[in-house]
Amino acid sequence: MSKPDQSNTGRLPPFSAEAEQGVLGCIMLDPVESMGRCLEKLQGGSASFYDKRHQVIFDVMQAMDASNLPIDVITLQQRLSDASQLEAAGGLSYLASLPDAVPSAANLAHYLDIISEKYTHRRVIDVCSKAIARVYDRPDEAGSLLDDVERDILAIGDQRDMGSEATGKDLARSFTSDFEAQARGEHKAVSTGFWNLDNTLRGGLKPGQLFVIAARPGMGKSAFAERITTSIASAGTPVGIFSLEMSQQEWTERIVSSLSGVDVGKFVGCKPEGAESEAILAAHRKLARLPLWIDASPGRTVAQMQAIARRWKARNGVGVIGIDYLQYIEAGRGSGKDRREQVDAISRGLKLMAKELQLPVIVLAQLNRNIENEKGRKPRLSDLRESGGIEQNADIAAFLYNPNSADDKEPSPYEKREVRLLVSKNRKGPQGADLRFTFDPTITRFDQFSPISRDA
């Protein structure tokens, strides 16, 4: 056997020569069945093997399989000879010994599990070793180092989770279980706190869904998201929020104002007294009991938020993620130089995060200026700023807008008014629902619509 390389710690990297030989032997015993299972399981391809001889052999086996050529000792030896790689593969005697290394191809799954596990261990060691080297070589790059290490570790986990599958029987069993749970009132949907929106969404937000709420500046989209997430947390479902625009203090003031009914403007330079002071204290006590986590760090990437969300879910049972807002998310490496490509990659990453963590992700987004050029027109999916990918990746896309925008008079920023939510995309429910809400900007609060008295 070729001498294995040692790491700089003096220890051999994790590998199993017997399992690697076993996989190659299984392929030679039953190439039709074994090769497909290897290609599915070994996400690293030939790099999954540690022994350089085995990498050479597996690469040639892959090429032969792709060309529908038979794989056995003779054909493999000939192919390696033609490519001047027979010596690198260990020679003819070594090839001939591989089928004898396994009693039966039936053990393939066990060998593949061992190889995959060892390959994962080696990748983790490689990432950590490179990080250690960078710490000494470039100590002033702590921020980018953390980003790179986190991205690389997440990539290992993502690749390791690939290849999961389900049979028709598995799908039917899962459907029956979900159907019966819904019949008993135990469905997995999370109520938004608004009955009209819940009805449109067929019961509320569901695991794996990406819910995009878009609007022009000043329409109250942050307040709308705050109302939904606070309602969800109040009902007992832990919520995690990434605030890329507002500080934690601003979020706190909005929540307390909404819960207390006290003008948010009185929190600065004014001293609420009497009933208002009591309402603020009651709201403060309620906020302290909410299962709510807020990360207000600016410039987060999707990979960073995914790592934090994964931790929130594991440690705190977070069941919903809110993000304010999409256009403030930093593009990760490989997202493209064009901003449209970056936003497409970001929205795709958010959908994958919702799917991986199996929880709803609510993300706010900006609409472009086109809608302001046509008074009275309702928002369209094409109005989503900087990207068509948001529309494609969203399960639900809804737009907050002023139903009286055709009027010449703009509403006062402090005036209680009607605001509509147009649900333009809804994969699991009706599209085009135009829902009515009442928005009071002084306390940053949305409620179910009720006629607004102009005499007040």
The residues annotated with a catalytic role in the active site are: 245
- Alpha-carbon dihedral 161, 167, 170, 174, rounded to 10 degrees: 80
By three-state DSSP, how is residue 324 classified? strand
Q: Which long-range contacts (CB under 8 A, 24 or more apart) does 374-381 make?
A: 375/405, 375/406, 376/405, 376/406, 377/405, 378/422, 378/434, 379/214, 379/215, 379/422, 379/424, 380/424, 381/424, 381/425
> What sign results for the dihedral spanned by CA atoms 69, 70, 71, 72?
negative
Alpha carbon distance, N-terminus to C-terminus of the chain:
89
Cα 145 to its chain centre, rounded Å, is 22
Sequential DSSP letters for 342-387: HHHHHHHHHHHHHHHHTS-EEEEEEB-GGGGGSTTPPP-GGGBTT-
Q: Counting every residue, how long is the chain? A: 456
Residue type, 379: P
Name the 3-class secondary structure at 211. strand
Dist. CA 433–CA 263, nearest whole Å: 31
